[in-house]
Amino acid sequence: MRDHSEVLDRIRRGLLYTESEASFQDPLRRADLVFEYNATPPGDGERRRALLERILGSVGARTVLLSPFHAGFGSNVHIGDDFFGNVNLTFVDDVEIRIGDGVMIAPSVTLTTTGHPIHPGLREDFRRFSEPIVIEDKVWIGSNVVVLPGVRIGYGSVIGAGSVVSRDVPPMSVALGVPARVVRQITDADLRPPGR
């Protein structure tokens, strides 16, 4: 059995590694289980929950994850309590994605922990780097958002639809755009219902 500690160390440090070097991790991929989950009727909550527990690294109580969803591994995704993930949520989870409690994610969002070098000479054998993503409690992510490697989205924040999040977002902030920028803080004035 080969010692893969050097490759794992590079992965943990966000340094470049190749598909071939990381292939020893393939048994951690849950592609068949993800396929089975996506083919399971929405009304079969018990079966869907059992599959999620086998797919994800950890999953909290009262989790809703609508089909279809996609995951590179699945086993590197950790979801807290009271999570709602809408259709077409994609986890590119070569390293950990940690999602807190009370998080809502709208349709067609991509959370990608992995990127590739700019220069084509460095992209042979799908060379890449990976950095974890953290989404803290009570975050709401709008439709068609992309969250890039190494990003932390702080407690209670809102990410506007169509945004590309390339840097950390502080707690209780509204961020939007390409690239996403903080446009304002969330305050008690936001406790008023919309339209009033």
Q: What Å distances lie between residue 184 and 117, 150, 160, CA to CA?
A: 33, 22, 12
Residues that are catalytic: 116
List, in sequence order, every residue forming a beta bridge with 29; answer none if it has no partner: 74
Of the candidates 109, 101, 8, the residue with the CA atom closest to the CA atom of residue 58? 101
